[in-house]
Amino acid sequence: MKQHDNFADQCCWNGILPMLMEDCGSVWHDTSMTPQPLLVSVVDDDESVRESLPDLLREFGFACEVFSSAEAFLASDAINETRCLILDVVMPGMGGPELRRQLKFRRLEIPTIFITAQRDTTVRSRMLEQGAVECLFKPFSDTSLLTALNSAFQAE
Amino acid sequence: MPAEKEAGADQVKRLQRCINDLVSLLALPASWSGLEPPQIVESLLDGLMRLLALDLAYAYWSAPIDSIPVEILRVARAELSFADSDGICRTIRQCVGDTPDSLADFLPQSIADQEFRLVPVRLGLHGELGLIVAGSQRPDFPSQTEKLILSVAANQAAIGLHEARLLSEQRRVAVDLDERVAERTREIQRSNIKLRKEIAERRRAEHELRRSEAKHRVVVETASDAVVSMNEAGVIILANAATKRIFGYEPEELIGRPLTLLMPESLRGLHENGYKRYVASGQKRVSWQGTEFMALRASGEEFAVEVSFGEMTADDQKIFTGFIRDISEKKLADAALAKARAELANIARITSLAELTASIAHEVNQPLSGIVTNASTCLRMLSGDPPNIDGARETARRTIRDGNRASDVITRLRTLFSRKEINFEIVDLKEAAREVVALSLSELQRNEIIVRQEFADALPPVKGDRIQLQQVILNLLRNASDAMTGVHDRPRLLSVGLAREDDQVSLRVRDTGAGFDPKVAEKLFESFYTTKHDGMGIGLSVSRSIVEAHGGRLWGAVNDGPGSTFGFSIPCAPSSGEERTVSAHSSERPEAIPKYNRRRPSNG
């Protein structure tokens, strides 16, 4: 495989690889298990985000489920299957950090990537301090998302 | 012959003596000048006594001016002088009586037992002056020459006396005149003094008046207010220099013109009535201290003034004076101030610029994020083998829609944060609601929401801002739609109802969603961050502000069944009969200030 200068590109290349297969093959990460795409759940009250992310994630080779609220996510079955959480910080009702707390109470430690429209570096540092994998500012590039995703899965 | 020669010589001697005597007599008047009549008569008698060697000489004359006639008697011999002179005078007078002197040569008369020959000579042309009597005891008295001398003497005496009288009259007249002149002079002096005093008084008073007038004139002339006085007939009698600046008339132009010249035509009748009423009854309808009126400039421009009146009486005439201040600029300033305040209130609605910016950024970043993600996905799909054309098409479509969403956010922001002057127009809420539902229908239906419209038939129009009301309706629709996103076990029913309630029109949006806890109902109305579809939708708090600014109310309630109902009611537009002017900033209602408080749900 071609050596790439940066990890992101490498991941990108790796991400494309599954596409070359007929089916959405398994993500390179876990070859020992049955080829099932990893579930990434997206929780964001913003419709634009909810519409656009799934296709991108699928392009990356992940499975994706979207929820318009933290409550909806908590109420769903996906909480047990989700391998990574892409989470908006500010939402009406329960917000992102609160959802993480709730998951902690349920002994669910899901790697979380925060996405937020507030370009506030203090928010980012706070999220990172609290253990988030990454906190991306909207709009974010696909590569930065991919980087974050890889970080999330690398941590496992 | 010696006797004839002697007789001739004697005669010559006698004649010479006579001529000498006559010359003496003729010289007498010269010595009489300046003498008083008595002195003249005395001088004459003395002269006669000497000249004619008389034994006595008597004069009686009446100076018409003096009331008492004067008698003077001269006697030659001493013994006669001891006798009763008054008696002698009387005797002589009696003897002479009224006898004209031309007839008798002499009158014999015994005086003091002695015989005298008396020769009377009348003084004056007609003897009116008086009488001289020469008396002698000589038997040859009077001779021809002596008679001549006596008559010449009498003439001279008359002349002298006449002149003396004239002189004395002149003197008297002169004295009188002097007296009169002196008196008149004294009078004049006296009145002069009085006059001078009066003049001084008057000058002083004038000076005082002038000074006081000058003081007042300075005040009036330099007053920045116009000062205009009118008489009882309403005619201007005084105007100060400020009228030029304020009204555009030179003060002289205004004198004699009616006061109503300075008022707008439409107000002249009102003024006339008010003035008549005051004159008749003393009743004042307006305060005479600082009342606002409209006035009229020479250019025809109407402008606001503040006037204070005064009334005074001078010479039984009433004079009304007005102090007129041009407050048009002040009014403009007040209006500008009010406008500035409104703008400030406007700005105060935004809690802070940073927050606003953050909000804008936040709301715009959502669709932007969508755009970036969709485009990235699109590229990836197109790079696939085979390229995922359908997928790419979908991402492209979503990109366009997100772009529009971003644009809408900006537009909505500008609309919301622009000057919130409600443009009141007649609005048909039914049409407005239909429009909003139509616009939202595709989205609602995509969310599998069944939309029902229940509009009453005859709905009166309301007065309000169409766009703002539509924003409220949209907000309610979106909230209802969002409330039902988690609903799967029952139909997602959204019904929009419009009905008339008394003098209001009410719109209700009912959903079958999750409902809300009535206890936290108020919190709903505080939410600014509402989300979702258009990024910067107006929240319930703004909706409420808009509705309240229209004189209505917005409310929400939980349904009997599932879901909640939100609605608002707006007063109907008044019918044409009772049209009332509504200003954009109604002074009766405080302008509703929507609270744009960013309420962040607690997230640690």
User: What is the C-alpha separation between A88 and A96, in angstroms, rounded?
Assistant: 6
Distances (CA, A) of A50 to A95, A143, B119, B157, B402: 16, 18, 181, 168, 12
Q: Which two tokens stand for residue B154?
A: 């009498």
- At residue B219, does pLDDT exceed 60? yes
pLDDT band at residue B413 using 50, 70 and 90 as cut-offs: low
Per-residue pLDDT tens for A95-145? 888 899 889 888 888 999 999 887 778 889 999 998 899 999 989 999 999
Per-residue pLDDT tens for B230-280? 998 889 999 999 999 999 999 999 999 999 999 998 889 888 888 888 888
Say whether B361 and A69 touch across the interface (CB within 8 A): no
For position B122, what pLDDT does the model report? 79
User: What is the C-alpha separation between B277 and B23, in angstroms, rounded?
Assistant: 108
Distances (CA, A) of B144 to B52, B80, B105, B151, B203: 12, 27, 10, 11, 84
Distances (CA, A) of A152 to A83, A145, B395, B558: 9, 10, 26, 43
Residues of B in contact with A140 (CB under 8 A): 369, 372-373
Q: Could you say which DSSP state residue B198 is in?
A: H
- At residue B414, does pLDDT exceed 60? yes
- Residue in B370, B405, B529 closest to A92 by CB: B529
Per-residue pLDDT tens for B171-204? 778 878 888 888 888 888 888 888 889 888 988 9
- Could you tell me the pTM of the whole model? 0.35
Q: Are A130 and A109 in contact (CB under 8 A)?
A: no
Report which residue type is found at B442.
S
Q: Locate all alpha helices (DSSP H) within B139-226, ordered by sequence.
A: 144-222
Long-range contacts from B587-590, C-beta under 8 angstroms, 24+ separation: B589/B549, B589/B551
Q: Which of residues 23-62 of A touch B (CB under 8 A)?
A: 45-49, 51-53, 55-56, 59
Half-sphere exposure of B465 (CA within 13 A, CB side): 20
Smallest CA–CA distance from B479 into chain A, residue? A92
Say whether B405 and A48 touch across the interface (CB within 8 A): yes
Residues of B in contact with A51 (CB under 8 A): 370, 374, 398
- At residue B382, does pLDDT exceed 90? yes
User: What is the C-alpha separation between B119 and B107, in angstroms, rounded?
Assistant: 6
DSSP labels, B286-350? S-SSSEEEEEE-TTS-EEEEEEEEEEEEETTEEEEEEEEEE-HHHHHHHHHHHHHHHHHHHHHHB
Smallest CA–CA distance from A130 into chain B, residue? B604
How far off is chain A from B372, nearest CA to CA, in Å?
A: 6
H/E run at residue B569: strand B564-571
Average pLDDT over residues B111-134: 78
A6 close contact with B: CB closer than 8 A: no
For position B52, what pLDDT does the model report? 84
Beta-bridge mates of residue B313: B318
Which of A14, A71, A86, A138 has the most B C-beta neighbours within 10 Å, making it the best mutation to test the interface with B? A138
Q: Are A58 and A24 in contact (CB under 8 A)?
A: yes
Say whether A117 and B370 touch across the interface (CB within 8 A): no
DSSP labels, B174-196? HHHHHHHHHHHHHHHHHHHHHHH
Residues of B in contact with A93 (CB under 8 A): 601
- Residue in B380, B398, B485 closest to A68 by CB: B485
Residues of A in contact with B525 (CB under 8 A): none
For position B344, what pLDDT does the model report? 61
Average pLDDT over residues B544-561: 87
B contact set with A (CB within 8 A): 358, 361-363, 365-374, 376-377, 380-381, 383-385, 391, 394-395, 398, 402, 405, 485-486, 527, 529-533, 535, 600-604
- At residue B296, does pLDDT exceed 90? yes
Q: Which two tokens stand for residue B528?
A: 């600014």
Minimum mean pLDDT range among A54-58, A128-132, B284-288, B320-324: B284-288
Smallest CA–CA distance from B382 into chain A, residue? A59
User: What is the C-alpha separation between A103 and B589, in angstroms, rounded?
Assistant: 50
For position B298, what pLDDT does the model report? 93
User: What is the C-alpha separation between B441 and B437, in angstroms, rounded?
Assistant: 6
Per-residue pLDDT tens for B335-375? 877 777 666 655 555 544 555 666 677 778 888 999 999 99
Which residue has 């002269």 as its token pair? Answer: B47
Report which residue type is found at B183.
E
Q: How many CB pairs below 8 Å do chains A and B form together?
A: 128
Say whether A98 and B367 touch across the interface (CB within 8 A): no
pLDDT band at residue A66 using 50, 70 and 90 as cut-offs: very high
Per-residue pLDDT tens for B436-490? 888 788 778 878 888 999 998 889 999 888 888 888 898 899 889 888 888 888 9
List, in order, residues 6 or more apart from B197 with CB less than 8 Å away: none
For chain B, the distance separating the N- and C-terminal CA atoms, rounded to the nearest angstrom, is 200
For position B217, what pLDDT does the model report? 77
- At residue B601, does pLDDT exceed 80? no
Angle at A28 between CA A22 and CA A30, to 5 degrees: 115
Say whether B367 and A93 touch across the interface (CB within 8 A): no
